[in-house]
Amino acid sequence: MCLWNNPGNDTTGALARTRKLAHTAEELLGSPVYHYHSKLMMKDARSGGKFVWHQDYGYWYKFACLFPDMLTVFIALDRTEKENGCLQVLRGSHRCGRIEHGIVADQTGADLDRVAELEKKLESLYVEMGPGDALFFHGNLLHTSSANTSDLRRWAILSCYNSIHNSPYEKINHALYAEPLVQLDNDAVLKKGVSRDLTGKEVLVKNDGKFGLYFSS
């Protein structure tokens, strides 16, 4: 996994600023948003571990965000299927509010007893997607994914947006609100093409459970 807070000027930065992503996030949350962070999730064939049931706001609450007025856009770069570790969600679980999180299988995960009860009441969905498909989901939606046991790679870009009124009250991991997000036309990525301009961008890479600085300019 690699992660960055500043969207930057490269192709991924243009993608995060497109109206199809940023403006849709505003419509869903009902407020202006800023780019909280993005990350590249890399589950290669026959590798890539399982992520336990969790809510993104289970993390972000600990990162000084007072309200769950946040969401994630999951963009498939490859075909995602059950066999290669696609997302699994509990439909409607965002209505449950924030669930307590603790250490589960060496990860930060939601209370398993509560998840088990919710599984009895809510539909569990495997979100199979084609390359370029996008899934928007609320910060309180319970989701998980299995290890990639197939011969198919499963890479995805996830961009996370926070409401500007919900900027963290202290800097812990991800971005504070600084200025309005300049949104771009939906064809901005096509116009930019492949750009590796990482000016002003810090990229962190996770190895052995810890993030380290990979690039900074």
Q: 83: left (phi > 0), else alpha (psi -120 to 50), else beta?
A: alpha
Average pLDDT score over residue span 163-183: 96
What pLDDT, on the 0 to 100 scale, is given for residue 206?
81
215 falls in which pLDDT band (50, 70, 90)? low
Distance in angstroms between the alpha carbons of the first and the last residue of the chain: 20
pLDDT band at 216 (very low <50, low <70, confident <90, very high): low
Is residue 200 very low, low, confident or very high in pLDDT (cuts 50, 70, 90)? confident
- pLDDT at 210 exceeding the cut of 70: yes
Q: How does residue 217 score in pLDDT terms, banded at 50, 70 and 90?
A: low
Please report, for the domain that includes residue 11, its CATH number.
Answer: 2.60.120.620
CB-based contacts of 30: which residues, under 8 Å, 6+ apart?
A: none
Range of the domain at 86: 2-216
The mean pLDDT of 78-102, rounded to a whole number, is 97
The secondary structure element, H or E, covering residue 11 is helix 11-17
pLDDT digits (tens, 9 = 90+) for 95-133: 999 999 998 888 899 999 999 999 999 999 999 999 999
For residue 49, pLDDT over 90 is answered with: no
CB atoms within 10 A of CB 143: 21
In which band, very low, low, confident or very high, does the pLDDT at 76 lie, cut at 50, 70 and 90?
A: very high
Domain count, the chain: 1
